[in-house]
Amino acid sequence: MRWPVLVVEDEPILRLDAISMVEQAGFEAVEALSSADAIRLLEERLDIRLVYMDLDMPRSRKGIEIAAAIRKRWPPIEIILTAAYFTRESVELPERVEFYPKPVDHIEIVEAMRRLIGHDRTEQS
């Protein structure tokens, strides 16, 4: 089974890069262009167990707010946040949220995804 990972990124090139990373790791990428789109998809797709989301989405609700809302409404879902303009120390992360600065290290992110989902298959090419 390919576990679905919700990718929330408003920048098209970065979204395509994240989708490619998720799919090459053997997961199913579910694409969201905004936080509102992400919430709608989480309401529809009860099989999503992991969200990979950008904190820097100026045309959307702040990523940290949406992460907190996801944690409150769907406690079992794991969350990975990324950002270019924030540091781990500059944001108060909700419980069980992991943060990685941009540019992200794909190997590090994929390892985190596998660990969080409990999916430790070796990477596919």
Give the per-residue pLDDT at 119.
58
Residues of the chain with pLDDT under 70: 58-61, 119-125
Q: Residue 46: which residues within 8 A CB-CB, separation 6 or more?
A: none
50-68 confidence digits (pLDDT tens): 999 988 776 555 778 888 9
Give the per-residue pLDDT at 123.
39
Instruction: Quote the CA–CA distance of 35 and 25 in Å, as a whole number.
Output: 24
pTM score above 0.75:
yes
Going by the DSSP 8-state scheme, the letter that residue 124 receives in this structure is: P
